[in-house]
Amino acid sequence: MKKKTLYDLKNIKGKIALVRVDFNVPIENGKVTNNARIIAALPTIEYLLKNEAKIVLLSHLGRIKSEEDKKSKSLEMVANEFAKISSHPITFIAKTRGKEIEQAIKNMENGSILMIENTRFEDLKDGNIVNFESKNNPELGKYWASLGDFFVNDAFGTAHRAHASNVGIATYIKESVVGFLIEKEIKFLHDAVYNPKRPFIALLGGAKVSDKINVIDALAKKADKVIIGTAMCYTFHLAMGKKIGKSLAEPEKIDLAKELMAKYKDKLIIASDSVCALEYKDIKGKVYENIPDNLIGLDIGPKTIKTIKKELKGAKTVIWNGPFGVTEFKNYRAGSKAIADELINLKGAITIIGGGDSAAMAMEMGIEDKISHISTGGGASMEFLEGKELPGIAAINNK
């Protein structure tokens, strides 16, 4: 790896480590409902504690567009969850800058942890949207950088964004490295795409073709097969002249779908049948290849499942991004469940599930321990698969 890692740091005892983590976790009624991202950051934090650094954690939580948002998106709830699952005491400061933070850092003991408030609180000033964090305000990046001795970026989920808390700090601090989580993400995604064991199969779900045009193109050049399912397949169905009923599609992208099918005719596999319902509800559905006008497709059908199982037999590298049905509905998760069952039973294969909805789906299905790697970044993993440079990683010191 070209970028500096934790192992490149020397003599860090007593030094202040500014650590950008991705603690953007789901919260309901003041409680964290999924702590996977907190758990994913623990190896980096444990390493720094073992080496007696003083750790200052920075993270965002949701989007901040109003004073009301601030009330429900304080990181204090996340700090409490961190203390619970890590058994490490943590000091939380409900500020993003100022004397209170500076004094608290000055008073830190070796091997202690402090967390500052949601970095995106800096996107709002006096009730006005200023986007100091989200637009990488140089003065803010410089200020945060001044608080520490070195910077560790371990937030893969925001690595595709140039924010003050990643690119800004890395720009103005003397030494910057990536943490274990980003190092792991890069290794798995890079090896899968640029040095895959074959056969290499990519499964792409999601609602919009337009969101994943570049990913389809990039993966089709490298994979042996690219299988397209869920709502994204309906734009391709329109391009084939099939009926899609009330299913979600992008009619304006029909020409693009035709172009992709012609360009990769030996590689692209489009879901052929769907389980359909009268409306977007968790009610029992019927299977169609041409969907009647009054129905909506909510899952892949048995014919498509059979095709996918056949293609996955003997696969050695599989990347799966995007559920293949409305997995929050019990009646429409059979397609995704069938794919998951195939993946966890593949012998000697590298299996990778993309971030966002896909990661949540894997957790819900209880297969996270049986998959080689579950990415913590939705947009970041997509852009990496497209071959784009991620600014949050590019800003880190090279070895």
Q: Where is the binding site, in residues?
A: 22-24, 37, 60-63, 120, 161, 212, 297, 328, 355-358
Tokens 């699952």, residue located = 85
Q: What is the dihedral of CA 364, 367, 372, 378, to 10 degrees?
A: -10
37 is a catalytic site residue: yes
Q: Which residues sit in the known binding site for ATP?
A: 212, 297, 328, 355-358
Q: Which residues sit in the known binding site for (2R)-3-phosphoglycerate?
A: 37, 120, 161
Q: Which of 303, 316, 337, 379 is the catalytic position? A: 379
Q: Which residues sit in the known binding site for substrate?
A: 22-24, 37, 60-63, 120, 161
356 is a catalytic site residue: yes
DSSP-based three-state secondary structure for 317? strand
Distance of alpha carbon 27 from alpha carbon 207, whole angstroms: 24
CA nearest to 154, candidates 183, 174, 134: 183
Distance of alpha carbon 13 from alpha carbon 29, whole angstroms: 39
CA nearest to 3, candidates 185, 195, 183, 188: 183
Q: What is the dihedral of CA 141, 144, 148, 149, to 10 degrees?
A: 10
Amino acid found at 334:
A
Residues with Cβ < 8 Å from 332, sequence gap 6 or more?
275, 277, 282, 285, 298, 299, 325, 326
| Tokens found for residue 75 | 């990181």
Q: Which of 3, 37, 222, 267 is the catalytic position? A: 37
379 is a catalytic site residue: yes
| Complete DSSP assignment for 6-66 | GGG----TT-EEEEE------EETTEES--HHHHHHHHHHHHHHHTT-EEEEE---S---S
Q: Which of 205, 285, 354, 356 is the catalytic position? A: 356
Q: What are φ and ψ of residue 262, in 5° steps?
A: -70, -40
Q: Which of 208, 243, 246, 258 is the catalytic position? A: 208
Half-sphere exposure of 335 (CA within 13 A, CB side): 36
Catalytic residues: 37, 208, 356, 379
